[in-house]
Amino acid sequence: MDWFQILVVVLAIFLAIFLVAGIVLTIIVIRLTRQIQSIAENAKTAVTKVAKTATNMSNVTSPLYLSRFIGKFIKKLRNK
């Protein structure tokens, strides 16, 4: 074998190794991207639920606060 043939064989082996490594890494990146997308969707759902809960709590506490304020105001008027 000539050294040209040896060089071609070595380069072909390295090319095959890098090709397989590239395919494997691409598959891993695709799986990782899907997992990240799933986590992002779950986080989005959680944030939406928390926002709705906060809105509902503010709707409940706001009238309650106003009724307490008005009740205290009426008690002060009655005491005078």
25: Cα separation from own chain's centroid: 23
pLDDT surpassing 90 at residue 80: no
pLDDT surpassing 80 at residue 12: yes
pLDDT surpassing 80 at residue 58: no
Residue 7's pLDDT band, with cuts at 50, 70 and 90, is very high
pLDDT surpassing 80 at residue 17: yes
Q: What is the pTM of this model?
A: 0.59
Tokens of 12: 């072909």
- Round the average pLDDT of the chain to a whole number and report it: 90
Going along the chain, which residue ranges are E strands? none
pLDDT at 36: 97
Cβ-count burial of 73 within 10 angstroms (0-12 exposed, 13-18 middle, 19+ buried)? Answer: exposed
Please give the DSSP secondary-structure letter assigned to residue 44: H
